[in-house]
Structure 1
Amino acid sequence: MSALATVGLTLKSTLAAEGKQAPKILLRSSWQTVNIGDIAHTPGVLRILKQHLPEAEVTLWPSSIDNGVDKLLLAEFPGLKIAKKGSPELQQAFEGCDFLLHGSGASIVAQNDLIRWQKETGKPYGIYGITFPMKKSSSTSPQSEAALKRSVEVLNNASFVYFRDGKSLELAKSLGAKAPVMEFGPDGAFACDLRDAELAEAFLAKHGLEEGKFLCCIPRLRYTPYWTIKEGRKFDEKKHARNEEMKEHDHAPLRDAIVEVIKNTDMKVLVCPEDRTQMAVGKEMIYDKLPADVLDRVVWRPDYWLTGEAVSVYVRSAGLFGNEMHSPIMCIGHGVPAIVCRFEEQTTKGFMWEDIGLGEWLFDHDSPKDQSRIAPTVLSLAQNPEQAKAKANQAKAFVEKRQRETMETLKRSLA
């Protein structure tokens, strides 16, 4: 039995002796499974809860836990209850849970469910590690004034709101949000510790990738082309046109970085995905366009993977760089150096790197000056791995401090 489980049993015994009930939390999370970052939110928050409130009984209210994610969660958190939409278990959770915690996401993803919870139960809720955007990452136009006003009302009715980037906090305040606690709070995915070492080690061995001697690189288009992977999703000409317009612009610096690393160090580079669309992007925009004389030390992964295998690869790497956000988050959560390249379509979430002390590892593809510094910074990381790791560990320590502080707020809300 783990130390956390032992502590949990001790606390439950103490509560029982005092005639008190263990707190019951309904976690609204698990938005989709086509992206390992969206998968990571839930096990991250569950791990934080288990560490800081081991006595709590947690029920997950998911949007999607298909593709084997339900089995991963139940294996990692054996006591977890799952209450799907429309199920008797969800009705029981509404009746029995004391608090609803909205997990990390690109916005108040389950805003309508928070409204429903408050209306039907009158019980409190909190919001944990979100971006609050003027324009949602899946949209090409800003939110309406009425939509923003409704969201601010939801923020105001929360016991606490933790924003995963400081710019979201600033925006919410400027629009009149005034929950009792509104602060920076790390994305739950920082705490994700799903592992699949067996799959990871087999993959690395197959491709000659040695621990500490390779970097990971992740591609991304401006808009995720969900129409290529989700049944029934309509083709979006506007998003496709923007992707085509910017894909060379957004991936040329990554190729430059790979060339610099290969030519100036003994490291290899793994081009890998964060979502199901990115294997093809990595092949077209990175691997196929690299000079022939570097390809023998570049590996392209053709298959999607789940979060456990990805994390198990990341922690064996010397670091990661690319156009995504949650793989870098998971890396820093384990003290692995990670460089983030962002663009406007990704909302403000990338600015969390400034909030956790990693502003030097944040680059904006919409800034020519920033783009010119991507390759030299990646090379510096590869040439100075111990220095880079120390920087990553410093950010990790800051994140863990904030996690402890956010859980103290939750404890007060449950009192």
Structure 2
Amino acid sequence: MRNIRYPGRREFLKGSALAALSLLTPLQGFSNKKNPVLILRSSWQTVNIGDIGHTPGVLALLEKYLPGVEVRLWPSDVGNGVEEMLMKRFPKLKIIKTDEDKKSAMAEADFMLHGSGPSLVARATLEDWRKTGKPYGVYGITFPGVYGTPDQARKASPQDIELLNNARFAYFRDSVSLSIAKEVGVKCPIMEFGPDGAFAVDVKDDASAIDFMKTHHLEEGKFMCVIPRYRYTPWWKIPSKKRTIDEEKDAINQKMKEHDNGPIRDTIIAVVRQTSMKILICPEDETQVSIGKEMLYDKLPEDVKAKVVLREKYWLTDEAVSTYIRSAGLFGLEMHSPIMCIGNGIPATVGRFGEQTSKGFMWKDIGLGDWLFDMDVPSDVSAITPAVLAIAKDPKSAKKKALKARDFVVKRQQETMAVLKKNLYS
């Protein structure tokens, strides 16, 4: 996503301050019910703990700021233990499962909220909802969600533009998306930066995390987590996806895997040799278990490997969060594990690629620009090890920085939920 103009931090903060004025804008709420019904359209897939995390994050915000609302989750996928995880944390949640459930929800609900995601994922559902004449909003997406060059990224579909124009509000999880939306003609009444829902994740599986840590001799506050990845997620390696190999993307993955993961491996070596920290190599999606072994663990010197743990199985969001909050921080090449870390006050850096969408720029938006590294910029790559070493050597200062970013996110969460409330209640 090179050559996209990134709004300056001062410009962005000015816009965020002005965003508070939106709370004063006269809004016509829809429902006069004491307990209005809201459909949360979310839960896109279960093979990535970040995609899983969008849903419990937004549910936690709704529970906190709109406690009288009856929430019905309309998921794409809550299998593989995700439904059980959600119901443990939100026992009153109603999950839409059948066609009859969908029909009833469309008739009874007062508002539809499109949850966080890499794009306007549920555009088809929003199209059907529009026919009811009832309001909807979009919460924390990247737009338009196209992977590729800046010119490709600006090719938003007319359908998406129309859907956003007719929403009560549209919150974008990175300022580059907001800028592109304005550039291509989106004119939603309220268009602002709104944090990814996963920042609010609070699901936990402390028992599993503590057991794993004890088994592998990881002490609280004395280890850092690391996540590797390919340039393109190799969905063809996940049997449940039933996809054939994309030869072009696989070729790029193989060509760039050392370029991208080598600096992360070097940082592991530096942290282990220069501090008392241990390292946990862990996955954000199912495909990262194997690349973590191949590109990180197996290539480590023996003296370093002795202080590194490789997690050999994929996990769910609750166990991951319970592990992250006991770590000293996280680094690597993913986005949503860092989001969940910062949401819980844990330091985390982000490595991004030109092939990705603009989501990584949210790190600048929340004041963590010096913890964001473009793997295609040599000066950024060379800055990874010093930045992570600084976290490892001075955890208190790093945590203070993480908490400041979290406070900024929390303020925006409060403001965005207030807008939802004004749009929901008449």
Match in the other structure for 2:195: 186
2:348 aligned partner, one-letter code? A
Aligned to 1:195: 204
Q: Does 1:95 align with 2:104?
A: no
TM-score by length of 1: 0.92
Distance 2:122 2:102 in 1: 15
Aligned to 1:234: 244
Distance 1:261 1:21 in 2: 54
Mapped to 1, the partners of 2:304 and 2:212 lie a distance apart of: 21
Task: Give the equivalent residue in structure 1 for 2:349.
Answer: 339
**Residue number in structure 1 paired with 2:179:** 170
Q: 1:118 is matched with which residue?
A: 130
- Cα distance in 1 for residues equivalent to 2:317 and 2:35: 30
Question: Aligned ranges for residues 365-384 of structure 1 at < 5 Å?
Answer: 365-384=375-394
**Alpha-carbon separation, structure 1, partners of 2:151 and 2:228:** 24
Q: What amino acid does structure 1 have at the position aligned with 2:63?
A: K
Residue in structure 2 matching 1:80, options 63, 78, 93: 93
Q: Residue 161 of structure 2 aligns with which residue? A: 152
**Residue aligning to 2:76:** 63
Match of 2:264 in 1: 254
Q: Is the 8 A contact 2:119 2:145 kept in 1?
A: no
- Kindly indicate whether the alpha-carbon contact (under 8 Å) linking 1:107 and 1:136 is maintained by their aligned counterparts in 2: no
Instruction: Say if 1:133 and 1:348, in contact at 8 Å, map to a contact too.
Output: no
Instruction: Say if 1:332 and 1:116 are closer, same or farther in 2 by CA, change over 3 A.
Output: same
Deviation at residue 133 of structure 1 after TM alignment: 3.3
**CA deviation string 1:93-128 (max 9, x = no partner):** 100100000000000000111111102x11111000
CA RMSD, 1 decimal: 1.6
CA deviations 1:304-323 (Å, max 9, x no partner) are 00111000000000000010
Matching residue of 1:318: 328
Answer whether contact 1:324 1:340 (CA < 8 A) is retained: yes
Indicate the residue corresponding to 1:135 in structure 2.
Answer: 146
8 Å contact kept, 1:163–1:183: yes
Alpha-carbon separation, structure 1, partners of 2:165 and 2:207: 46
TM-score (norm 2): 0.90
Aligned residue number for residue 412 of structure 1:
422
Q: Secondary structure at the match of 1:169?
A: helix
Q: Which runs of 5+ in 1 are unaligned?
A: 1-18
How much has 1:230 moved relative to structure 2? 3.3
User: Structure 2 matches for 1:260-409, cutoff 5 A?
Assistant: 260-409=270-419
Instruction: Output the CA distance in 2 between the equivalents of 1:271 and 1:316.
Output: 15
Query: Which secondary structure state, in structure 2, belongs to the residue aligned with residue 285 of structure 1?
Result: helix
User: 2:53 is aligned with what amino acid?
Assistant: A
Residue in structure 2 matched with residue 209 of structure 1 by the alignment: 218
Query: In structure 1, how many angstroms separate the alpha carbons of the residues matched to 2:154 and 2:419?
Result: 32
| CA distance, structure 2, for counterparts of residue 183 and residue 251 of structure 1 | 34
For residues 134 and 273 of structure 1, the distance between their equivalents in structure 2, rounded to whole angstroms, comes to: 23
CA contact (8 A) 1:219 1:323 kept: yes
Q: Does the aligned pair in 1 maintain the 2:138–2:171 contact within 8 Å?
A: yes
Runs ≥4 in structure 1, deviation > 4 angstroms?
Answer: none
* 3-state secondary structure, aligned to 1:107: coil
8 Å contact from structure 1 (residues 41, 104) kept in 2: yes
Find the aligned partners of 2:413 and 2:150 in 1 and give their Cα distance: 33
Deviation string 1:30-60 (CA, Å, 9 cap, x unpaired) is: 0000000011000000000000000000000
Separation in 2 of the partners of 1:41 and 1:134? Answer: 16
| CA distance in 1 between partners of 2:144 and 2:362 (Å) | 14
For 2:125, the aligned partner's letter is D
Q: How does 1:22-41 map to 2 (within 5 A)?
A: 22-41=35-54
Instruction: Specify the code of the residue in structure 2 equivalent to 1:265.
Output: T
Alpha-carbon separation, structure 1, partners of 2:400 and 2:266? 25
2-structure distance, mates of 1:93, 1:38: 23
Structure 2 Cα separation of the partners of residues 150 and 143 of structure 1: 15
CA contact (8 A) 1:218 1:324 kept: yes
Aligned to 2:117: 105
Alpha-carbon offset, residue 143 of structure 1: 6.5
- Taking a change above 3 Å as real, the CA distance of residues 221 and 112 of structure 1, as seen in their structure-2 partners, is same
Q: Does the 8 A contact of 2:154 with 2:184 survive in 1?
A: no
Q: Give the CA deviation at 1:293.
A: 1.7
**Tell me, what secondary structure is at the counterpart of 2:276?**
coil
Offset at 1:148? 2.3
The offset of 1:90, in angstroms, is: 1.1
1:134, 1:411 → 2: CA distance? 27
Letter in 2 for 1:92: S
Counterpart in the other structure of 2:231:
222
Task: Mark the CA change 1:224 to 1:140 in structure 2 (over 3 Å): closer, same or farther.
Answer: farther
The 3-state SS of whatever aligns with 2:68 is coil
2: CA distance, partners of 1:398 / 1:196: 27
- 1:3: which partner in 2? none
- Residue 286 of structure 2 contacts residue 314 of structure 2 at CA under 8 Å; is this kept in 1? yes
RCO greater where, 1 or 2, for CA within 8 Å and sep 6 or more?
Answer: 2
